[in-house]
Amino acid sequence: MFMAAGAIPKSRVSSATLMEGYAILEGLQLCKQIGMRSLFVESDNEFLISLLSKGSVFPSDLDVLLSDVRQLSLEVDVRDFLFVRRQENVVAHELARRGCGLN
């Protein structure tokens, strides 16, 4: 398993869904940069995962961002977008714990 964490400040982001979309995009960009392929993307944002996994038309406020995510997901061979409940998202919890320096 590969885990990574990063923080890039974003201003004027109007929703948690939009912010999560940026996080997914930046994670996929990192994977492309280091040559990782055949990925599973997990998020606790059920709405976003539903949009990305169904290949549906995106709402206008998310269209450009999620179109970029979809294109990049093809380039790095994303196998699936998976919804994981916040309480069960062990990877995110572990990254947050390490990022805060907690043992």
SS (H, E, C) the chain: CCCCCCCCCCCCCCCHHHHHHHHHHHHHHHHHHHCCCCEEEEECCHHHHHHHHHCCCCCCCCHHHHHHHHHHHHHCCEEEEEECCHHHCHHHHHHHHHHCCCC
Task: Indicate if the pLDDT at residue 102 is higher than 60.
Answer: no
Instruction: Give mean pLDDT, residues 22-32.
Output: 93
d(CA 61, CA 25): 15
pTM confidence score: 0.81
Residue 12 has pLDDT above 90, yes or no: no
Q: What is the mean pLDDT of residues 44-67?
A: 92
With contact defined as beta carbons under 8 Å apart, do 43 and 81 qualify? yes
Q: What is the CATH number of domain 18-99?
A: 3.30.420.10
Q: What is the mean predicted confidence (pLDDT) over 78-92?
A: 84
